[in-house]
């Protein structure tokens, strides 16, 4: 038995170190009773196997929805929380992290269609008091497709430092000042480096051209028209409102040992327009279908979301994989477009073939949601739905 597995087993027996909210003790339900289930007649052993056996060292819960012409499947596995061991709630809200970028990009493209935002205009021309002359050539499009060259702002260095600072309120303007006080990583449009900062600026651009709060624009333009009643932008509230399965992170604990900590309560103002959205698999499935059908972004501007810049990745040198809002990967011999997201304790993703014939939405309560490698449960889900790279 590995050390991580031993820690998880111990957590299931005696509980985990709680975050700022400690659940009351309750009679435990054996975790292995929370197994995958389908909501229709359609069976898919590979999908059921992908989320079976939770909680595990990699994840404590998984919620999955597969849709499209190729078949429908619904499944959940794992536990609502490690203290009670009761089954995971398939309708629970979760932090969707960088899936937020798809919503932000969609609002920006709607504004571009209306003439309020010009993708080829410099970001500085909209925010001259904030963006310095050293970044005067960065365009709105480059912010949205990660080819801007602006480095990341300064944040706490270690996971433990970030946890200690989890209730800090970040001002997006301060984050932009921190980032733009540094030298560019590369000239605008020459490389691609996936970072949050471009979408932080995009949120501020939305506010500048509309004269309205970013959150209200997302709600008015996307959430309300699509009926996404369980999706919201949390602002300064560090708690997930309503039903949600708890998220856990493997980290160094107060006594110096390594174990699981409940990280369900954690502020997300550092992510804001790049990564703070809370949603459900049902809402994200509805959003994904509407987006790919052209009901969110209409006309030629929708193609911006399916067009990769012809540059190399800043770190790997491989061809760019991110468009405006989405990313692309070839799986099972076909292009799959979508977006993954991670906040501590939570991994999420939306994905679809370009024609919408096969969609996937998942939430995986990963115990290392921001690790360098993709969560194994999430990886197995992608392969089960679309095939191998």
The predicted-structure confidence for 116-164, as pLDDT tens digits, reads as follows 999 999 999 999 999 999 999 999 999 999 999 999 999 988 999 999 9
CB atoms within 10 A of CB 310: 9
Q: Does domain 3-386 have CATH number 3.40.710.10?
A: yes
pTM of the model: 0.91
84-102: pLDDT as tens digits: 999 999 999 999 999 999 9
Could you tell me if 165 and 156 are in contact, meaning their C-beta atoms sit under 8 angstroms apart? yes
Rounded to whole angstroms, the Cα distance separating 251 from 160 reads: 7
* Domain residue extents for the chain: 3-386
Q: What is the DSSP secondary structure assignment for residue 349, as one 8-state letter?
A: E
Residue 109 tokens read as 């493209």
Q: Quick check: 35 and 18 in contact, CB under 8 A?
A: no
The tokens for 108 are: 């920006």
With cut-offs at 50, 70 and 90, classify the pLDDT of residue 4. Answer: very low
Please say if the pLDDT value at position 321 is more than 80.
yes
Q: CA dist 146 to 181, 189, 317, Å?
A: 18, 9, 14
């Amino acid at each position: 038995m590995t050390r991580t597995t031993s820690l998880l087993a111990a957590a299931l027996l005696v509980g985990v170190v709680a975050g700022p909210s400690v659940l009351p003790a309750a009679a435990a339900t054996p975790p292995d009773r929370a197994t995958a289930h389908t909501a229709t007649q359609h069976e898919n052993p590979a999908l059921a196997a992908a989320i079976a056996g939770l909680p595990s060292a990699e994840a404590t819960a998984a919620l999955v929805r597969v849709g499209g012409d190729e078949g429908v499947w619904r499944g959940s596995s794992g536990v609502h929380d490690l203290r009670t061991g009761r089954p995971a709630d398939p309708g629970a809200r979760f932090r969707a992290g960088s899936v937020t970028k798809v919503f932000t990009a969609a609002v920006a493209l709607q504004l571009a269609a209306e003439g309020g935002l010009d993708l080829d205009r410099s970001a500085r021309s909209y925010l001259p008091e904030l963006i310095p002359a050293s970044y005067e050539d960065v365009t709105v499009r480059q912010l949205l497709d990660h080819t801007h060259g602006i480095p990341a702002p300064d944040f706490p260095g270690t996971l433990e430092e970030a946890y200690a600072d989890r209730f800090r309120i970040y001002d997006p303007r301060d984050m932009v000042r921190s980032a733009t006080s540094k030298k560019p990583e590369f000239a605008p449009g020459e490389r691609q480096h996936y970072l949050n900062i471009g979408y932080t600026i995009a949120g501020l651009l939305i506010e500048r051209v509309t004269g309205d709060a970013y959150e209200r624009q997302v709600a008015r333009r996307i959430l309300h028209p699509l009926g996404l009643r369980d999706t919201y932008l949390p602002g300064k509230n560090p708690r997930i409102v309503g039903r949600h399965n708890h998220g856990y992170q493997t980290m160094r604990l107060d006594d110096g040992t390594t174990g699981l900590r409940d990280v369900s309560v954690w502020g997300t103002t550092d992510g804001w327009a790049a990564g703070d959205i809370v949603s459900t698999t049902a809402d994200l499935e509805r959003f994904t279908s509407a987006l790919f059908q052209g009901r969110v972004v209409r006309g030629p501007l929708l193609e911006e979301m399916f067009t990769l810049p012809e540059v190399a990745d800043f770190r790997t040198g491989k061809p760019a994989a991110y468009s405006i809002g989405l990313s692309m990967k070839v799986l099972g011999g076909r292009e799959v477009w979508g977006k993954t997201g991670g906040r501590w304790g939570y991994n999420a993703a939306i994905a679809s073939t370009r024609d919408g014939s096969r969609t996937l939405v998942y939430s995986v309560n990963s115990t290392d949601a921001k690790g360098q490698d993709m969560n194994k449960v999430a990886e197995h889900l992608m392969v089960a739905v679309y095939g191998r790279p």
